Amino acid sequence: MKNLTALIRRHAQAFGYVFTVILPVLLRTVRRPVIFSRFAGMGDIVCTLPAALELKKRYPGATFIYNCAASFACLPRMGGVTERVTNLRTIGLVGHWYGWLLAGFYPFSYGDEASHTASTEIVIREYGRPFGVETGDTHPRLTINPAVLSRVKLHLSRIGSGLENLILIHPGPSWPVRTWPQEQWLELLRHLRGHGFTNIVQVGAGIRNYANVGAEEFPPLPETLSLVDQLSVEETIALISLARLFVGIDSGLLHFAACTETKAVGIFGPTTPNLRFAPAFTKSFVTSRAECQGCHHRLPRLHWEKNCPHDIRCMKEIRMEEVLCVCLAELTTENKS
């Protein structure tokens, strides 16, 4: 009975979406709309945008809708895909039962999210492949509102920071298999300060506002300025665009660094950088040398985000000195224009 009630509720939501979103577009434009959908994390959504932009070329004059979590609605707008963003979790029912009302329905997915497939190419290309579009491997540029940039500068001023030699760090939260030990972060920060880089700000969301189920909280790092849980997604992107260097684990924020062409040091264990980012961007990444590195892209998967039979050796064995060396190399080269 409970399953039947849930099914009826999902179908009612789908019908309500058709009635309140699709039919008004049809009546106003006399043309069927196109829906893109990726109900997942920030990095996932960003990586679908190149495919969505290519697919738009097939439907000149159409109305485009992007469906994603409400908190990430700014991303399709900033990426130039569409201003019309919805957040229906059961959008698949709309595409299945009401597809005849649509000019196109594109639910983006990639190999690593299914238990029986694995990615073999950079995810940006992989999102477009099933729909017959080529995208290249470069992250999309995101347009940042000047008013948002000004607001972010005020945030920095409020916590006693500024733009000079601004280093942003993002240690988590995330799934345990993606996090780098806290003691390693503390040592890295101590050495960066010892080299004169003291303007270090921790960014991201706290565990209460983190979207992924199964993630573990990463405590605030001491003696570090913090904007954790204090910025919107759009403000976070603006902040990253202002930084001299971003240092973090594999996450949506690292994708934002790629979108803003901000120098970044990514720390990778279970995932492999060249399946996530273009080669030009990964040259300053640090990847574990453990034999099981990249298990996220292997079948059968050893961890599936939470359980690791090797006690997350891939992340724990990444040496602080190696990360520090890459950070200093990036900080002592000419900054981005």
160-180 pLDDT tens trace: 999 999 999 999 988 889 999
Asked if residues 171 and 185 have their Cβ atoms less than 8 Å apart, the reply is yes
pLDDT at residue 208, as a whole number: 63
Angle, in degrees to the nearest 10, between helices 233-242 and 252-259: 50
Residue 20 burial class via C-beta count within 10 angstroms: exposed 0-12, middle 13-18, buried 19 and up? exposed
The whole-number average pLDDT for the span 110-127 is 93
Residue 320 has pLDDT above 70, yes or no: yes
pTM: 0.95
Q: Give the contacts of 165 (CB within 8 A, at least 6 positions apart).
A: 197, 198, 199, 244, 331
Integer Cα distance of 84 and 282 in angstroms: 33
List alpha helices for 98-214, DSSP H: 123-128, 146-158, 182-194
Query: What are the sequence ranges of the domains in the chain?
Result: 2-131, 146-330
Residues 157, 77 contacting (CB under 8 angstroms)? no
SS3 category, 261: coil
The Cα 167–Cα 185 span in angstroms is: 13
Core vs surface per residue 40-61: b (16+ CB within 10 A) or e: bbbbbbbbbbbbbbbbbeeeee
The type of residue at 52 is A
Least confident of 10-24, 65-79, 84-98, 305-319: 305-319
146-330 has the same fold as 2-131? yes
C-alpha distance from residue 239 to each of 30, 120, 245 (Å): 41, 32, 11
Under 8 Å between Cβ of 260 and 75: no
Domain covering 146-330, topology: Rossmann fold (3.40.50)
Q: How confident is the model over 244-248, as a mean pLDDT?
A: 98
d(CA 223, CA 187): 12
124 pLDDT tier (thresholds 50, 70, 90): very high
Q: How many residues does the chain have?
A: 337
Q: What is the pLDDT of residues 211-235, one digit of tens each?
A: 555 667 778 898 899 999 999 999 9
Q: State the chain's mean pLDDT as an integer.
A: 94
- Where is 67: in which H helix or E strand? strand 64-67
User: 272: burial class by Cβ within 10 Å (0-12, 13-18, 19+)?
Assistant: buried
Under CATH, which number does the domain 2-131 receive?
3.40.50
> E strand or H helix at 34, and its extent?
strand 34-37
Residue 337's pLDDT band (boundaries 50, 70, 90)?
Answer: very low
- What are the tens digits of pLDDT across the range 260-292? 999 999 999 999 999 999 999 999 999 999 999
pLDDT at 115: 84
